[in-house]
Amino acid sequence: MEEQKLTTPAILPGFMELLPKDQMLFNRMMDTIRKTYETFGFIPLDTPTIEKAEVLLAKSGGDTEKQIYRFQKGDNDLALRFDLTVPLARYVSQHMGELTFPFRRYHINKVFRGERPQKGRFREFYQADIDIVGFETLDIVHDAEILSVIYQTFVALGFHRFTIRINNRKVLNGFYEALGIEDKTGVLRILDKLEKIGPENVRKELGTMNLSEETIDKVMRFSEIGGTPEEVVAAVRALGANEQTEVGLSELEAVTKAMREYGVPEENFKIDLTIARGLDYYTGTVYETILNDYPSIGSVCSGGRYDELASHYTKKSLPGVGISIGLTRLFYQLREAGVLEGDKSAPTEVLVLPMTEGRGAALALASKLRESGISTEVYLNGGKMKKQFGYADKLGIPYCIVVGETEVETGRYTLKDMASGNQEMLSEEEIIAQVLQRKAQEAAKKVCGEKP
């Protein structure tokens, strides 16, 4: 070969790339989420990564404009999607006549944001979204349905101690309006920090907002309301609810009732009047989800109700409700917390090691195992047995079978359990039964193991 200058193999900062063992874990998480979403009948959607910049930026401003990856190619002004909600709005508007409403879709794929990189923040990351979009109307019960999917998703991942926090923008808007507060967004932004900086600092920051002491008192008292959903609703009513607040309270009552019908346990949801969600487009129910044992991760799944999903693309009214899991960040945080469980670096269940002259028989046995749905590799690179078993160990392959002439003649093979070191002489059928049994046990294990 000619002498040439080497290019250093490296990726950009702020991008995630995994080694096989972590990739296997990541895929198990993603598959669990996908499977749960499908169990509720959500339709898979896939949209282009690259879209027209004018379409993606139809609504945006501020941070989005700064963070978006935007570029020219030929005459086209292009951009990479920065979330999955804007493409959904575009898709539903564009294909309105060909879709069945309510349109229930899930979308799990990468989005792109050129943020300043920092620990646990990525410029390219997976989101796992579900949304239900109605045509002109969408019953409030769907707000609870979305939550029941999220509940099942986190249970399927292996969590039990998590809390879905529910609020309603109408309650907030009505309450602040009744108090004569004009800069509601400003107040909400300060209240959002309650958990982080504590009530005293929040009070201090509210003090800079040109509000009377009495108003600040009421705001603080409102934010401290807690208890069961019924207690929270009653406490807000006791503070005096105007018409808008009352609509919001009725919606919270309807969502609570439906959550119970969906069988979501009381300990997994609560009404929390302090959450507001930053995005402007939420108009009713808003949600966040906290892992009780890992509060510092923040919300792992957020969303809410928006009355006008697609108002930048169509005059038709398309109300929706949805939620998004930031999968890459969640994976990163759970891995840091040591919550993920799995030690396979390959999907392989059985490694077949052919002795000299045993290759044909080894390949035939492997085909049989694969026909039974068992992921099987034949080691084809020779070398000492120790090296071959070492290959299985490194990849976390649970079983090895050595195939030589004797095995072919007798039809019985030695199955070695790599974890225990045990060896057993078995027939093909017995091997298949044992491997499938172990595989089923593994499949029943959750990817996230909550510490007791």
For residues 176-235, which are near a second copy according to CB under 8 A? none
CA distances from residue 135 to 308, 309, 314 in whole angstroms, order as listed: 10, 11, 12
Which amino acid is present at 154? F
Given the complex with a second copy, which of 271 and 352 has the nearer CB atom?
A: 352
Q: How far is the CB of 119 from a second copy (least distance, A)?
A: 18
Near a second copy by CB under 8 A: residue from 269, 294, 306, 313: 313
Q: How far is the CB of 185 from a second copy (least distance, A)?
A: 17
Cβ 441 vs Cβ 427: under 8 Å:
no
Binding to a second copy (CB under 8 A) within 406-445 occurs at none
Examine residue 64 and tell whether it contacts a second copy (CB under 8 A): no
According to DSSP, the residues that pair with 126 across neighbouring strands are: 110
Examine residue 141 and tell whether it contacts a second copy (CB under 8 A): yes
Near a second copy by CB under 8 A: residue from 197, 204, 382, 423: 382
Residues in contact with 5: Cβ distance below 8 Å, sequence separation at least 6, in sequence order: none
Examine residue 16 and tell whether it contacts a second copy (CB under 8 A): yes
Given the complex with a second copy, which of 54 and 213 has the nearer CB atom?
A: 54
DSSP 103-126: EEEEEEEEEE--PPP-TT--SEEE
For the stretch 254-292, what's the b/e string if a residue is b when 16 or more beta carbons lie within 10 angstroms of its beta carbon?
Answer: bbbebbeeeebeeebbbbbbbbbbeeebbbbbbbbbbbe
Given the complex with a second copy, which of 51 and 205 has the nearer CB atom?
A: 51
Which tokens go with 405?
């002439």
Query: How far apart are the C-alpha atoms of 37 and 188, rounded to whole Å?
Result: 32
Q: Where are the beta strands (DSSP E) in 183-319?
A: 269-271, 285-291, 302-306
Near a second copy by CB under 8 A: residue from 64, 163, 375, 388: 375
Binding to a second copy (CB under 8 A) within 340-369 occurs at 345-348, 351, 359-360, 363-364, 367
Examine residue 380 and tell whether it contacts a second copy (CB under 8 A): yes
Given the complex with a second copy, which of 188 and 351 has the nearer CB atom?
A: 351
Near a second copy by CB under 8 A: residue from 9, 61, 338, 421: 9
Q: How far is the CB of 15 from a second copy (least distance, A)?
A: 4
CA angle 235, 237, 239 (to 5 degrees): 75
Near a second copy by CB under 8 A: residue from 376, 416, 432, 435: 376
| Candidate segments 47-55, 211-219, 330-338, 400-408, binder of a second copy by CB under 8 A | 47-55
Query: How far apart are the C-alpha atoms of 325 and 323, rounded to whole Å?
Result: 7
